[in-house]
Amino acid sequence: MNNQKYEKLMKKCFALAKKGKGKVEPNPYVGAIIYDEKKDEILSFGYHKKFGFAHAEVDAINNLKGSCIGKTIIVNLEPCFHYGKTPPCVDLIIKKGFKKVVISNIDPNIKVRRKSVEKLKQAGIEVKIGILEKEGAELNKVFFKNMTRKMPYVMMKTAVTMDSKIALSNGKSKWITDDYSRNFVQKLRSSYCAIMSASGTILADNPRLNVRYKNKKSPKRIIFDPNNKIPLDYNVFNDDVEVILINNSDIKAPSHVQKISFDGDFEALFKKLYEMGIYSVMIEAGKGLNTELFKAKIIDEINLFMAPKIFGSGISFVDNIELNEIEDCIKLKDLKIKKLKNDLLVNAKIG
């Protein structure tokens, strides 16, 4: 069968996998389809619904009315090899008599990586890898970063004018973008484990940093305030969600606030956050923290909302990152530009 047919089926797997968003973390998003190549017919499908529940392959097999023998299973991530919350999917696939396994991405987890593929081949099962590989990696970008770096996936969001200003020189910033863009930001927030901001932004705006949609969970809040500038009665310390306060003072924080110290090492800080169960972080801060995170090479992705306005002077979203050569600049890739209502959304990966 040609790749075009597999790509069409893999897109269906991606759509199934996305149904697990917000429910399966820290596991990846996975969908599976059982397919009869002779009849060109989808026989069943499944996806990983919740952490600890059946994996996508198992769900699809359980939903099948009939035999798996001689059939093809299409799955966006290499089947698991090890015992975790559930037994290895690769063993079940072999036991059920599948003829072919079609995969988008190899699992980056060292416990799995290519081991399942090799075991399937040794069992005489045909394995096809790399169908819509780039799209599959985008779907599971958080999981891939978690597995390869033991750090959260970090996305920076900022709202700027056409001349890249986030505020006037006097600090006023409400509102640069329109209501539509700000609602879009709410959706972004709801897809991240935590939202991180710093003292400058919080003191200027006293934001809530929550999600104002019904049935959408607000992310945890990470407050970067090593020098103890933010009063504890500010909105970010509300007890509606868990709060992580990065602070080097001896203040006594409320019971829902977990305080950790910071020694200047951002990579160590984000590895600590990962160990605390923070798998993805959205940065909503000013030029101070933004600049330090760029310099420390912490940022993976940027979403820049650009309003059709010009300030002429004011505060930029990033400051001096101490470059001496043009080739040393921060480079963006996979650039996407989307027209919203009145504003533009520029999305890009870093480096």
**By C-alpha distance, which of 57, 68, 281 is closest to 156?**
281
- The SS3 call for residue 259 is strand
Q: Where are the alpha helices (DSSP H) in 133-251?
A: 133-139, 141-149, 179-190, 199-205
Q: Residue 318 has what DSSP assignment?
A: S
Q: Which of 57, 78, 284, 292 is catalytic?
A: 57
CB 335 within 8 A of CB 344: no
285 contact partners, CB below 8 Å, separation of at least 6: 156, 196, 197, 198, 200, 201, 224
Please provide residue 273's backbone torsions phi and psi, each rounded to the nearest 5 degrees.
Answer: -60, -40
Is residue 41 among the annotated active site residues?
no
Over the range 96-110, which residues count as b (16 or more CB within 10 Å of their CB) and which as e?
Answer: bebebbbbbbbbbbe
Q: Which tokens go with 84?
A: 């975790």
CA distances for 341 relative to 212, 306, 344, angstroms: 20, 11, 8
Active site residues: 57
